Amino acid sequence: MARVGSAARAAATVMAASPTQARNAALIELAHLLRASVAALDVDNARDLDAARANGLAGPMLDRLKLGAKVIDTVAEGCEQLAAMPDPIGEITGVKRRPSGISVGQMRVPLGVFGMIYESRPNVTIEAASLAIKSGNAAILRGGSEAIHSNLALWRLVQQALTTAGLPAEAVQLVETTDRAAVGRLIAMPEHVDVIIPRGGKSLIERISAEARVPVIKHLDGNCHVYVDADVDLDLAVKVTDNAKTQKYSPCNAAESLLVHERQAAAFLGRIGAIFAAKGVECRADERAAAILRDVPGLAVQPATEADWAEEYLAPVISVKIVDSVDEAIAHINRYGSHHTDAILTTNHPNAMRFLREVDSASVMVNASTRFADGFEYGLGAEIGISTDKFHARGPVGLEGLTSMKWVVLGNGEVRT
């Protein structure tokens, strides 16, 4: 790993100084190679799929492992979209003349080397590689052992694209061993690696965070709240709450907790309860909410326990609580939430502004579905991950999260007195 790290560091220096055009050309070439290699990639992917089946892997796990023409076309298109985006590197902002005579501003530069640790889905190999290329960084990728043949095949295309564009092939390296100790070494080389980005389950991320000796862009739980305020457009509230909870159950930005102002409780809970009943969503409700929800035909209602307020179900289950004020809603969210994404549905402007300011979450929303918390929806073009931390990057992390700002000073012989 030290050899891999040292090669990455050397490649990062070349990438940082490389022309915009070379990096874009590598992305276009990579898209071309991906589309031209559908059949060949299928052979390597089949080896992983066969091994997974032999190991008794189940349906959804197999689905995530599968490449195929459609997935390949999507990642190829992602490369082309990145190539078309403005270069984040070299941007100079805020240059101001100081009383001493010097001009001071900031220049956006690559972070250097990032390590990406992920599971199952081999398309992450291309997503991470293409973000590294565009942002002028080097990357060390460590995919899941179950996808090793697919990842190796994809990585060979990345190396070919880099070489064709005149960039160092070592700018994107794949850890070829499936030895688990390699991860331990990757996260403890501050001299070679500037940041670690894990994508996977909570236990993987917690373990990496505890053991890493470099910064980690962490993505932990998404216990997202929808709060229906006292003043609200009920039709809007029903539509948005339905979407936030039921459009998909598994994403981290799906709603897991519903807070309703007591003034709207009877009217709103009756309507959303009917939708939940029709879609098979179970409610874990406090006493007051349960008293209303139990009247909804066909709705599963359970009493909420303390643990329910903090739970990320990722399933057709939602906790429901009636509150008496926007203050109570904000306090509840800051206490039990996971600082991911929370929304207020209201027509009251002061309450909207207080919610935006006081809810301590990476994304705070007014009258929109929590499901919008996503790099593409936010216009970042691509997403390397979602951060539940406050340090460096918060919420969806795009190309800018892979950069830092250094100070530039332009003088004409000024000295300090």
Kindly list the residues in this chain that would bind a copy of itself in the complex (CB under 8 A).
Answer: 13, 16-17, 90, 96, 98, 100, 102, 104, 107, 109, 111-112, 194-195, 210, 213, 215, 233, 236, 239-240, 242-244, 247, 334, 343, 354, 356-358, 360-369, 371-373, 377-379, 390-392, 394-396, 404-417
Tokens, residue 141: 């990728």
**Least distance from C-beta 367 to a copy of itself, angstroms?**
4
Tokens describing residue 85? 């985006």
Nearer to a copy of itself, 43 or 353 (CB): 353
Q: Which is nearer to a copy of itself, 34 or 171 (CB)?
A: 171
Which residues on neighbouring strands pair with residue 386, listed in sequence order? 396
Total residue count of the chain as it appears in this document? 417
Angle between helices 69-84 and 123-134 (to 10 degrees): 10
Single-letter residue type at 351: N
What is each CA distance from 288 to 284, 291, 309, 313, 373, in whole angstroms?
12, 5, 15, 22, 30
* Closest by Cα among 182, 199, 236 to 347: 236
Torsion angle of the four alpha carbons 366, 371, 375, 381, in this order, in degrees rounded to the nearest 10: -100
Shortest Cβ distance from residue 270 to a copy of itself (Å)?
A: 20
> Of the two residues 312 and 358, which places its CB atom closer to a copy of itself in the complex?
358
Toward a copy of itself, which CB reaches closer, 181 or 415? 415
- Least gap, CB of 310 to a copy of itself (angstroms): 13
Q: How far is the CB of 1 from a copy of itself (least distance, A)?
A: 20
Query: Do the strands 92-97 and 103-110 form a parallel or antiparallel pair, or are they unpaired?
Result: antiparallel
Using the minimum distance from each CB to a copy of itself, give the nearer residue, 56 or 413: 413
The answer to whether the Cα torsion of 240, 245, 246, 249 is positive or negative is positive
Max distance between CA atoms of the chain, in angstroms, equals 80
CA-nearest of 134, 135, 129 to 169 is 129
Residue with smaller CB distance to a copy of itself, 180 or 407: 407
Contacts (Cβ under 8 Å, ≥6 apart) of 412: 101
Report the nearest approach of a copy of itself to the CB of residue 365 (Å): 4
Which is nearer to a copy of itself, 42 or 91 (by Cβ)?
91
Q: Which is closer to a copy of itself, CB of 81 or CB of 404?
A: 404
Nearer to a copy of itself, 295 or 360 (CB): 360
Report the nearest approach of a copy of itself to the CB of residue 255 (Å).
11
d(CA 137, CA 160): 17
The token duo for 188 is 């403890």
Q: Which residues face 228 on adjacent strands?
A: 260, 345
Q: Sign of dihedral through CA atoms 336, 246, 284, 312?
A: negative
